[in-house]
Structure formats: structure tokens, C-alpha cells
A and B are shown apart, each in its own frame.
Chain A
Amino acid sequence: MRDRGATYLLLAPAGVIFGTLFVLPLTYFLVISFWRVVLFRLKPDFTFANYLQVFDLHLSTLVFTLGLASLVAVLTTVLGFIYAYLIRFKAGLWGPTLLFVALITLFGGYLMKIYSWMTILGITGVLNTALRALGIIDEPLPWLFYNVGAVVVTLVNFLLPLAILPIYASMRGITDIELEAARDLGAGGWRRFSDIVVPRSQTGIIGGFALCFLLAAGDYLTPQLVGGKVNMIGVQIAPQFGGLGNWPMGAAMSFVTLGSSLGVILLSIFLLAQWRPR
């Protein structure tokens, strides 16, 4: 009695939205990355000039961005793993509260968190004024703000829930029974951790890492607002669609960023797959 027509009819509106607002725009975006701009107008073409220029002009920015995104993704994944481990195995009755904190911070404002870190780390900001009021320092610490460290702290702060939740979701599948069975068979604490907990959390670890990496690599506001002169590829992409008006260039930069990010993610999945139970 399940007729196919009805199934496709139910899926159709979502399919239309996905097709016209995702597949079509991204295809067009890929196409214009091979076009040129002549006298401020898009001109259809088939040239690799934009891609060559990305490597000419922005290679060091790209490499720096991938490095920074790797650092941020590794930090968020490790911290997210610890937090998920805490919820699942150590927190007991506090587990739901900790999970709840991760959930509300997930929805609690990307821009507001960046803004808050501006007010925390700035020269006349919360941290400096608090430390002065407590008499710990006499002069404000200038090195808190407008540098790579501030960018890393801010990115880790708002990406952390995105690592916690998938890792926790896969850790929830680990039952106490299998851990107790392993212990009864003589596996020590580390053995149980490395042979059961880590491999069983792999899906979540990979998902969280990939998501955090992509979002960090594509961010453009954090380096601008808390990084000062910190230059990431997103900071170079955004103006191509504003004042500079070179869409083909911006499109090529976007695809180079996505492609190289995908490369880093696949490499890290390969590295993680080396962690197998003995």
C-alpha cells in the first residue's frame, strides 16, 4: 500500500529547495570561478587564471589558514572529547546539566560570542580591568588582544559545542556491560580506554573535527574583530563580493579553500583510522 508517487510527492518540496538554493547556486558559483571580470562586468570564459592567481597572491594566507584551522580543530576535538567523556562516564547526576550547557551554548549566538571576547580581551576590557581592580597588574596587558591567540580562543569557544555533541552522541552507544566485560577479562583502565572508548567514538570524533575545521577555515569575522592584523583566507574572500567586486576571484578562492580543507580532513581521517584496537 506504500505507493511511490506519494513518497516522492512528500519529498518534493525539500528536494526543490535543496536543488534551487543549494545545487544550482553552487554550480553557478563553480562556473563563474572560471570567468573573468571585464570593466566591472562578469564575462563568460574558461580560464584557470583565477585559480593560478589564488596560489600566486594568497598561498601564504591559505597555508596559514589551514594551519590555524588544524590547531583549532585539534583543540576543539580534544576538549570536546574530554567534555563528552566527563558527561558520559564521570559526571553522574551532573551529566544532563553539562549536556544542557553544551546545547544552549550551541544556540547562543555566533556574533555575540565574538563580540563578548572583544570586550573580554581588549585593553580596557573585562580581563584587564578586573585584574587591575584586584591589584594583580598595574598596567593593562596588551598581548591579550589583536593576535593569533585571541583568534584561537574565540574560535575554540564557539566551536566547542559542535565537537562535544557528535562525540557524546557516539559515546552514548558504549554500554557499561562491554566495559565491565573487558575489565573482567583483565583489561586495565588505559586498555579499556584505547581499545573501546576511542574506537567506538570515532564517528563522532571525525564528524566534530571535520565540522570545526571547515567552520574555522571559512571564518572571516573572528580574525577581523579580535585578530587585528591576523590574515585568514575568509578575510580575503569577503571583500571580493563587496568593494573589490571580483566574484570569479572570490569563487576560485572559496573552492580552493574547500578543496584543501577536504584534503586536510581526509588526511586526518586516515591518521585517526591508524588508532585500532590491538
Chain B
Amino acid sequence: MTGASDVVWRGIGTLFVVFLLSPLALVVLFAFTSRPQSAFPIEALSLRWWDAMLANPNFAPAFWNSLIISGTVGIVSAIVGTMAALGLARLDPRRARLAAALLCLPLMLPPLVLGVALLSFYSRARVPMGPQTVIMSHLLFALPFVVLVVYARLRNFDFRVVESARDLGASPLRAFFTVTLPIIRPTVVGAALIAMALSLDDFVITFFTIGKGMTLPTFVFSMIRTALTPAANAVGTLILVMTIGTTLVALWLTRYRG
């Protein structure tokens, strides 16, 4: 490679990284500045928007709703998704790929269409809307991620160790809890964290299926719809820290490398 093209590629890479990261970096930056607009020049650093966020009566319920919803989605999708991945690993690879592709269909629908379809369905089936309907809806797009990640791990899993345990008299359940699970646990936990991050981050489907309550993203929406207050930056930073934090731990646990 010549030196000139090296410099060009480095420049392109830098531009991409700036384009991808700057919106998020600015949200974090303006969560800590003092002026009442997100604008330059920055006069002073301040925590006033964090005070404003905590003082807002809608903040605490939204925060707890977000924790409960994403926690439940993480746990349920980890259990159901791991079961499904174990089931897929017992099918022949072609049928397993087909089943996995089917399960991923909800990810291809625009969230708006999924949200309004679920809204009309819940209301027809007279399911009262609230955190419970949001949890059910989030399972739909969180589950495929868990299944895919855990199934990928099981593809290069040595099932002979499970068979040894079975030959030595362990029941299928006991073999799973004493042999399989300890080996795949980091992957399962990582997949559950990805599911939590996706749930925590979702706005559109939550907006249509939560009824009256709020989560952190719908709380941000209620703040930015009326007026641009930098307090929204504080909530946004909180969401970013939570989603990116769980994602980082998840990537580390699953050793995902693209």
C-alpha cells in the first residue's frame, strides 16, 4: 500500500467515526453544560439538568418501569431463547436455519407497523395495556437475538461431555444444569444483556403498547415534543450509559467479534 492511499483511508475512517459518534457525544456533553440551550459556546459545566431530571415527577416512575420491563425481558428471553437454541441444535442444520430465519421476521418489520398491529390486537383481545404488554411485545424482537447468539455458541459445543454425563446416570435436566449451562453461561448472560439493552432502548413499540405509563425513552419524547430542554440530554445520557454499559459487558462475555 502506498503512503498516500494510507492517509486517504485514515481520513475516511476518521470521518466515519466522527459521523457515527458525534450525535451521542453531543448528548452527553450538553447534559453537563449550564446554558439553557444545547449550543456553543459552552460557558460553564453544571449538573443543573440532572437536578431538573430528578425533580421531574415523571422521572422516577419512568425509570422503574424501564428497569422492570428490561429486566423481565432479559430474564424471560434468556430462558425461552436458550431453550429454543437447544432445540434448534437438535434439528438438522438446514431446518434449524429455516426456523431461526422465521423467528427473525419481526426484526424486518418497521417498528411502527409492529407497534400498531400489537396495539389493535391487545385491544381486541382485551389485554389491559401497561408494562405487561410492553414486556410481551419486546420479547418478540429480543428473543431472536438470544436464540441466534446462543445457537451460534452451541454450533461449536462438544456434546460428548453431555453424553458422558448421561452415560454416568445424570438425568437430562441434571446434565443440563451441571454440564451444559456452566459452559455456555457467559454466552447466555451476554445474550440476555443484549436483550435488555434492546428493550431499554425501544421507543416506538413501547409508545404504542404501554397505555398510560412511561419508560425512559417515552419520558424523553414527552420532554422534547414540547420544548427543547437540556434536561432531555441528562435522561438521554442515562439511557446511553445503561444501554452501552450492558452492551459492553455483553460483548465482553460473548466475545463477539463481528
Residues of A at the B interface (CB closer than 8 Å) are: 1-2, 6-11, 13-14, 17-18, 21-22, 24-26, 28-29, 32, 79, 82-83, 86-87, 90-91, 94, 96, 98-105, 107-113, 115-120, 122, 124-126, 128-130, 133, 157, 160-161, 165, 168-169, 172, 210-211, 214-215, 217-221, 225, 234, 237-238, 240-241, 247, 250-251, 254, 257-258
**Stretch among B55-63, B108-116, B184-192 lining the A interface:** B108-116
With a CB–CB cut-off of 8 A, which chain A residues contact B109?
A: 214, 218, 258
With a CB–CB cut-off of 8 A, which chain A residues contact B88?
A: 11
With a CB–CB cut-off of 8 A, which chain B residues contact A22?
A: 105-106, 140
Q: By the criterion CB–CB under 8 Å, are B112 and A220 in contact?
A: yes
Given contacts A211-B108, A219-B110, are A124 and B37 in contact (CB under 8 A)?
yes
With a CB–CB cut-off of 8 A, which chain A residues contact B256?
A: 103
Does B139 touch A at the CB level, under 8 Å?
yes
With a CB–CB cut-off of 8 A, which chain B residues contact A168?
A: 258
Q: How far is the CA of A47 from the CA of B107 in the complex (A)?
A: 30
With a CB–CB cut-off of 8 A, which chain A residues contact B13?
A: 86, 90-91, 94, 98
Q: By the criterion CB–CB under 8 Å, are A237 and B172 in contact?
A: no
With a CB–CB cut-off of 8 A, which chain B residues contact A214?
A: 108-110
Residue on A nearest B103 in the bound complex, by CB: A18
With a CB–CB cut-off of 8 A, which chain A residues contact B197?
A: 107
Q: By the criterion CB–CB under 8 Å, are B204 and A251 in contact?
A: no
Which of B99, B107, B121, B201 has most chain A Cβ within 10 Å? B121
Identify which of A14, A108, A118, A122 contacts B81 (C-beta below 8 A).
A14
Q: By the criterion CB–CB under 8 Å, are B137 and A21 in contact?
A: yes
Identify which of A109, A124, A250 contacts B39 (C-beta below 8 A).
A124
Shortest beta-carbon distance from B192 to chain A in Å: 14
Within 8 A of A (CB), among B175-207: 194, 197-198, 201-204
Shortest beta-carbon distance from A180 to chain B in Å: 15
Q: By the criterion CB–CB under 8 Å, are B83 and A29 in contact?
A: no
Q: How far is the CA of A23 from the CA of B143 in the complex (A)?
A: 15
Q: What mask results when residues 91 to 125 of chain B are scored 1 for a CB within 8 Å of chain A, else 0?
A: 10000000100110111111111001111110010
Q: How far is the CA of A172 from the CA of B258 in the complex (A)?
A: 9
Q: How far is the CA of A247 from the CA of B116 in the complex (A)?
A: 9
Q: By the criterion CB–CB under 8 Å, are A14 and B20 in contact?
A: no
The 3 closest A-B pairs by CB, nearest first: A218-B110, A10-B87, A25-B121
Identify which of B37, B106, B120, B232 contacts A247 (C-beta below 8 A).
B120
Q: How far is the CA of A101 from the CA of B86 in the complex (A)?
A: 31
Q: A133-B41, A257-B110 are in contact. List 17 more A-B contacts (CB 8 A).
A: A1-B166, A9-B87, A10-B86, A11-B88, A14-B87, A18-B140, A22-B140, A91-B13, A98-B17, A100-B251, A111-B217, A116-B24, A157-B23, A211-B107, A214-B109, A225-B224, A234-B112
Q: How far is the CA of A113 from the CA of B88 in the complex (A)?
A: 36
Does B228 touch A at the CB level, under 8 Å?
yes
Shortest beta-carbon distance from A129 to chain B in Å: 4
Q: By the criterion CB–CB under 8 Å, are A101 and B21 in contact?
A: yes
The interface size bin for chain B is 35 or more
Q: By the criterion CB–CB under 8 Å, are B108 and A99 in contact?
A: no
With a CB–CB cut-off of 8 A, which chain B residues contact A160?
A: 19-20
With a CB–CB cut-off of 8 A, which chain A residues contact B108?
A: 210-211, 214
Which of B21, B80, B88 has most chain A Cβ within 10 Å? B80
Q: How far is the CA of A116 from the CA of B30 in the complex (A)?
A: 10
Identify which of A1, A91, A96, A250 contacts B257 (C-beta below 8 A).
A96
With a CB–CB cut-off of 8 A, which chain A residues contact B201?
A: 107-110
Q: By the criterion CB–CB under 8 Å, are A117 and B90 in contact?
A: no
Of the A-B pairs whose beta carbons lie under 8 Å apart in the complex, a sample of 6, sorted by A's number, is: A18-B140, A25-B117, A26-B117, A107-B198, A112-B239, A112-B240
Shortest beta-carbon distance from A248 to chain B in Å: 10
**Stretch among B45-53, B64-72, B242-250 lining the A interface:** B242-250
Q: By the criterion CB–CB under 8 Å, are B143 and A17 in contact?
A: yes
Residue on B nearest A13 in the bound complex, by CB: B80
Given contacts A165-B258, A172-B258, are A237 and B121 in contact (CB under 8 A)?
no
Does B161 touch A at the CB level, under 8 Å?
no
Residue on A nearest B81 in the bound complex, by CB: A14
Shortest beta-carbon distance from B93 to chain A in Å: 14
Identify which of B9, B40, B136, B257 contacts A86 (C-beta below 8 A).
B9
Does B214 touch A at the CB level, under 8 Å?
no
Q: By the criterion CB–CB under 8 Å, are B91 and A7 in contact?
A: yes
Identify which of B20, B137, B221 contacts A111 (C-beta below 8 A).
B221
